[in-house]
């Protein structure tokens, strides 16, 4: 049973990922040791609210939640631009709620302190699932570098593999929002790191018809939550051809490695100084450097559908 820390910035796809992981947690398939919150899709206080809304829907308020970094490591132009992008509304949940979430169970420790403590208490057992900018993780590495020797592995949603971007022409949002943190994590890590890039996510074959008219018709509290949130999100943006909750794909890979159809090992870094390419992942296609990521290039979206349906219809 994997022990997991989930680091997220709590847009709707983070919420879908949390539902998958919490369902597995309640079935003793994984143990979620903590959820840590980071500034990204929205300000970190909104992230905390959205995490607690999700936990309440999953009847999982016993899982510890910690608040982390409130901004990128460096207030670069790209991080400022990233803060202006609101894919999921101003609050990250489609701006559909008028009430205030109950966050009274928020832990007092900072997320970075909690990450260090949990990894130290569980050497070589903690898998860290990163669903937002990597600020908390980079800070933990810089403050407590010894954790790199005893962490088990990383699962990261972010970056790109062929320079296809969404936050800019060449950069994916999570990496664009804090490029320096990505550089620290990729340059420091010595443990297995599974990287799910933007290009893999947009290969999704999951239809909105399945999402809305099959999964979306199930009468469960978590389906009701995600229906409401996604309804608000799609009031302000056009639905793409296919449904692609990127962060949930990453969580699913941790839960079922058989979802990975194709992966390639690369040495990866991030462009920091390019006037047009800051935030773009740079892969060593010549294989001149030791690989530091397992780049996930294709996943089985049918198996993901099965996993998502099972989680969202689970009796929490």
- Which residues, at least 6 apart from 130, have a Cβ–Cβ distance to it below 8 Å? 7, 137, 154, 155, 156, 157, 158, 174
* pLDDT value for 84: 79
> Which tokens in the block code for residue 212?
């809305």
Distance from the Cα of residue 203 to its chain's centroid? 18
* pLDDT value for 168: 93
pTM of the model: 0.97
* pLDDT value for 86: 78
How does 38-68 read in b/e, with b if 16+ C-beta sit within 10 Å?
Answer: bbbbbbbebbbbbbbbbbebbebeebbbbbb
**Splitting the chain (316 residues) into consecutive groups of 10 residues, what average pLDDT does each group show?**
96 96 98 97 95 98 98 84 82 93 97 98 98 98 98 98 95 96 97 98 97 96 97 87 96 98 98 94 96 98 98 96
Distance CA 63, CA 79 (A): 30
């Amino acid at each position: 049973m994997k022990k997991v820390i989930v680091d997220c910035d709590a847009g709707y796809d983070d919420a879908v990922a949390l539902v998958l992981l919490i369902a597995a947690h309640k079935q003793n398939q994984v143990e979620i040791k903590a959820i840590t919150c980071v500034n990204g899709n929205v300000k970190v206080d909104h992230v905390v609210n959205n995490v607690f809304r999700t936990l309440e829907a999953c009847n999982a308020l016993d899982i510890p939640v910690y608040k982390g970094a409130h901004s990128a490591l460096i207030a670069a132009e790209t991080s400022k631009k990233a803060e202006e992008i609101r894919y999921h509304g101003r609050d990250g949940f489609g701006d559909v709620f008028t009430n205030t979430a109950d966050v009274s169970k928020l832990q007092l420790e900072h997320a970075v302190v909690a990450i260090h403590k949990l990894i130290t208490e569980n050497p070589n057992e903690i898998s860290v699932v990163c669903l937002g900018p990597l600020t908390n993780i980079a800070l933990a590495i810089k403050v407590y570098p010894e954790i790199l020797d005893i962490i088990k592995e990383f699962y990261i949603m972010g970056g790109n593999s062929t320079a296809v971007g969404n936050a800019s022409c060449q950069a994916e949002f999570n990496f664009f929002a804090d490029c320096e943190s990505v550089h620290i994590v990729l340059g420091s890590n010595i443990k297995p790191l599974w990287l799910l890039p933007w290009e893999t996510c947009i290969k999704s074959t999951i239809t909105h018809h399945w999402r809305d008219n099959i999964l979306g018709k199930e009468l469960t509290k978590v389906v009701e939550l995600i229906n409401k949130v996604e309804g608000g999100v799609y009031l302000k943006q056009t639905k793409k051809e296919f449904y692609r909750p990127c962060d949930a794909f990453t969580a699913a890979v941790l839960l079922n490695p058989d979802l990975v159809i194709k992966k390639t090992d690369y040495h990866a870094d991030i462009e920091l100084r390019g006037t047009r390419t800051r935030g773009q992942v740079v892969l060593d296609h010549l294989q001149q450097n030791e690989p530091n990521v397992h780049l996930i290039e294709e996943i089985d979206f049918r198996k993901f559908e099965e996993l998502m349906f099972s989680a969202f219809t689970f009796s929490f």
